[in-house]
Structure 1
Amino acid sequence: MKEYIEERAMEIAHYIIDTNATVRQAAKKFGVSKSTVHKDVVERLPQFNLALAQSARKVLDVNKSERHIRGGLATREKYLHIEQRR
């Protein structure tokens, strides 16, 4: 694996752990796709830093389990703003 990919995977993992970021937030921060973030953290990182990969995966799993809640809150906020404009 190329060195820059390993470095990127480690940087993404540290960012996710430090900020409890979602895959989408990490992708935006690093200028890569959501698929790249997921592949870096879930597939590539365990090959050379298993402990870091496991820590990042825990954060991603929590985010995944809560995403339906965040989506519902975002929809609620959207419709509250629409009602306030009327």
Structure 2
Amino acid sequence: MKGYIEERAVDIAKYIIEYNATVRQTAKQFGISKSTVHKDVTERLVQINPSLASQARVVLDLNKSERHIRGGLATKEKYLQKQQHCQVKY
């Protein structure tokens, strides 16, 4: 494996652990795709640093289990904003 890919995988895992970040947030931060983040953490990092991969996996699993809640909150916020905009308009 190329050195920069290994280094990126380690940096990604550290970022996820430090900021409790989602795959989407991490991908945006590093300017890469969500699938690359996922592959770096679940496949590449396991070979490089299994302990770090395990720690990152805990955060990713937690985020995955909570995503339906965040999605519902985002939808609720969207419609509250829409409702407030309509009330101000009329």
Shorter-chain TM band? over 0.9
Amino acid at match of 1:8: R
Shift of 1:48: 1.4
4+ residue segments displaced more than 4 Å = none
Residue equivalent to 2:65: 65
- Number of equivalent positions: 86
The sequence identity of aligned pairs, in percent, is 72
Q: Structure 2: state its 5+ residue gaps.
A: none
Shift of 1:49: 0.3
Residue equivalent to 1:31: 31
Alignment pair present for 1:50 and 2:50: yes
Larger Rg: 2
Q: Deviations over 1:27-77 (max 9, x none)?
A: 000000000000000000000100000000000000000000000000000
- Distance in 1 separating the partners of 2:14 and 2:39: 15
- Distance in 2 separating the partners of 1:23 and 1:69: 16
